[in-house]
């Protein structure tokens, strides 16, 4: 399964989710994309959208 983790800084218990995803990396493909920067370039948004569209599961933290 392909899982995309979008780091937005909006989820208060993000560390728990990140720890769970790290454990899942052995059996699944986990891609982490950092969107917390104030000045996220449009290229980064394009990458995030492409990753979401090709993933089986998207998680925003």
d(CA 48, CA 32): 9
pLDDT in tens, 33-57: 888 876 777 787 888 899 999 999 8
- Domains of the chain, residue spans: 2-60
pTM: 0.76
User: What tokens does 61 get?
Assistant: 């933290």
CA-based nearest residue to 34, from 2, 1, 10? 10
pLDDT of residue 38: 65
CA-based nearest residue to 52, from 5, 8, 14? 5
d(CA 9, CA 12): 8
pLDDT of residue 51: 92
Confidence of residue 18 (pLDDT cuts 50, 70, 90): confident
């Amino acid at each position: 399964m392909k899982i995309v983790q979008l780091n937005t800084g909006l989820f208060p218990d993000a560390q728990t989710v990140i720890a769970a995803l790290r454990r899942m990396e052995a059996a699944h493909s986990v891609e982490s994309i950092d969107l917390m920067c104030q000045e996220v370039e449009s290229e980064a948004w394009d990458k995030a959208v492409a990753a979401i569209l090709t993933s089986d599961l998207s998680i925003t933290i």
